Amino acid sequence: MDRSAEFRRSKAQFLGKADLSRKGSVDEDVVELVQLLNTRDQFFTTSSCAGRILLLDGIVALKKANGDAILKFEPFILHVQCRQLKDAQLLHSAAVASGFRNSGITVGKKGKTMMAVRSTHSLEVPLSHNGKLMVTEEYIDFLLNIANQKMEENKKRIERFYNCLQHALERETVTNSHPKIKEKNNSSYTHKKKRTPEKTCGKCITDENDEEPEHDDDDPGISVNIFPEEY
Amino acid sequence: MDRSAEFRRSKAQFLGKADLSRKGSVDEDVVELVQLLNTRDQFFTTSSCAGRILLLDGIVALKKANGDAILKFEPFILHVQCRQLKDAQLLHSAAVASGFRNSGITVGKKGKTMMAVRSTHSLEVPLSHNGKLMVTEEYIDFLLNIANQKMEENKKRIERFYNCLQHALERETVTNSHPKIKEKNNSSYTHKKKRTPEKTCGKCITDENDEEPEHDDDDPGISVNIFPEEY
């Protein structure tokens, strides 16, 4: 079986399976995005989470978190299996241009190509220690506000990514079928498509670059390499 | 110029440049790792940070952080340019096996192949709001302890990654030069090498899988999708 046929078979098999996530369905905020990808021959999504605010409770997470409660914001994450490396590259470009700077490609030994869309945004706040609450209720209100703001920003980025991706896929289709289109529609269609980027992908952050960020250096903060144990 | 020669030229050019990071030198904890990679023909590192604890101060970061102070732990990050995709794959496998599950490959339009080693570990805690401290000094002590523990764990992972990588590179060398070795040393050398994995790479986490983690689900926490604005 050639690679393309094998990919089709894997896709059919994967998408035919039941959704084994705890929730059992795709999050509402990413349904369109997941559909956009799955209707394309070169992709299928293997997991997604639109983003979430988690309370890791001391009782539930006792074994792993030493009885400490933690509030966490986890941004959007998406895993997509891609037919070829060039498909993963297209997806990666759209992801980085939309602000998902921690995105990356994985290529398995047998050539299985995965793209993970990841954000740099996070929030992770320990709330209690050995069952003792270390912060005030006012602080928790404040934190939840911040977490909700991050969730909103996260949602905007997902929309931006959807637009960027849609545009990139359209452009790819136009490029691939260019000779035929030209035959039918003269050059006006090509011209029209050329103007689309600014419209559909106007929100893309094009000055962000994922190639060599030492860290997410949006923050011109003070770097303290090691704090003393006794502060 | 063929790809290999072009890579050599880029490497010489990059490593010949001055270190333009704020610190101006490679962090002590990753010097050996960076050297291990740079002595190999197929890699060169373009940026690294061993990990850091940051205090983003409300005065310094005024414009971006709305006057709020934040305490952050940022784990080890490393960017490596690779000669070929297979070199990036080797690096990626070693990184994931060592616990750096957010690692990923980037392939540019002209084929420039980068590997980013990234961790899932983080800590990001808002401390003040509009100049008002929202937490107690006791809580800050508690936080700094956690941040220092994370830094220690981070350091262990770097060591684990160094060992895994060294082993993988040795194995690759042995595989590539296998016929010659066999001629000289009979089969005993091969046998010896086969036993090495458990020794040099004994700390590798082999049951971790980066392929489809919905999130870093080490934490069996309670997922709360949206907290009410008024908690």
Residue-wise pLDDT for B80-138, tens only, equals: 999 999 999 999 999 999 999 999 999 998 999 999 999 988 899 999 888 788 999 99
- Give the one of A103, A107, A139 whose C-beta lies nearest to B89's C-beta: A107
Q: Residue A189: inside a domain, yes or no?
A: yes
Q: Is residue B29 part of a domain?
A: yes
User: Does residue B220 belong to any structural domain of this protein?
Assistant: no
Rg of chain B on CA atoms, in Å:
22
When pLDDT is averaged across residues A178-188 and rounded to a whole number, the result is: 47
Assigned domain for A26 exists: yes
Q: Is residue B208 part of a domain?
A: no
Q: Nearest by CB to B105, which of A107, A212, A214?
A: A107
- Interchain proximity B54–A221, CB inside 8 Å: yes
> What gap in Å lies between CA B158 and CA B154, rounded to an integer?
6
Local confidence band at A216 (pLDDT 50, 70, 90 cut-offs): very low
Domain membership flag for residue B110: yes
CB contact under 8 A, B107 and A102: no
Interval B37-90: pLDDT, tens: 999 999 999 999 999 999 887 575 444 445 678 999 999 999 999 999 999 999
- CATH code, B125: 3.30.1960.10
3-class DSSP assignment, residue B119: coil
Query: How many residues are listed for chain A in this entry?
Result: 231
Its domain, for residue B194, covers 3-200
How close A139 comes to chain B (CA, Å)?
6
The SS3 of residue B82 is strand
Among the partner-chain residues A57, A122, A223, the one whose CB lies closest to the CB of B222 is: A57
- Residue B210 has a pLDDT of 37
How far A103 CA lies from chain B's nearest CA (Å)? Answer: 7
In this structure, is residue A77 part of a structural domain? yes
Asked whether residue B73 is assigned to any structural domain, the reply reads yes
Judge whether B103 and B115 are in contact, CB under 8 Å. yes
Q: Closest Cα to residue A116, out of B15, B103, B60, B28?
A: B103
Per-residue model confidence as pLDDT tens digits over A15-66: 998 887 878 889 999 999 999 999 999 999 999 999 999 988 757 544 444 5
| Distance (Å, whole) CA B62 – CA B74 | 20
Please give the pLDDT value at position B191. 38
Three-point CA angle A82, B212, A94, nearest 5°: 45
* Coil/strand/helix, residue B64: helix
* Cα dihedral: B101, B105, B106, B112 (round 10): 150
CB A102 within 8 A of CB A118: yes
**Residue A146 is nearest to which of B48, B103, B126, comparing CB atoms?**
B126
Structure-block tokens of residue A213: 């960020």
> DSSP per residue over chain A, as a string?
--HHHHHHHHHHHHHHS---SSS-S--GGGHHHHHHHHTSTTEEEEEEE--EEEEE-TTTTHHHHTT--EEEEE--EEEEEESSHHHHHHHHHHHHHTT-TT-EEEE-TT--EEEEE--S--EEEE-EETTEE-S-HHHHHHHHHHHHHHHHHHHHHHHHHHHHHHHHHHHHHHHHTHHHHHHHHTTHHHHHHHHHHHHHTTT---S---SS-SS-TT---EEES---S--
Residue B47: list chain A partners with CB under 8 A: 212-214
Q: Which chain B residue's Cα is nearest to A57?
A: B221
Q: What is the pLDDT of residue B212?
A: 39
> In this complex, do A53 and B103 lie within 8 Å of one another by their Cβ atoms?
no
Q: Give burial (CB, 10 Å; 0-12/13-18/19+) of A19.
A: exposed
User: Residue A18: its pLDDT value, please?
Assistant: 83
3-state secondary structure of B180: helix
Distance linking the first and last C-alpha atoms of chain B: 63
Nearest to B44 by CA among B56, B33, B52, B57: B33
Adjacent-strand bridge partners of A78: A48, A117
Inter-chain residue contact B148 with A74, CB threshold 8 Å: no
* Residue B220 DSSP label: -
How long is chain B?
Answer: 231
- Residues ≥6 apart with Cβ < 8 Å to B61: A219, A220, A221, B70
Q: Is B104 within 8 Å of A103 when comparing Cβ atoms?
A: yes
Structural domain total, chain B: 1
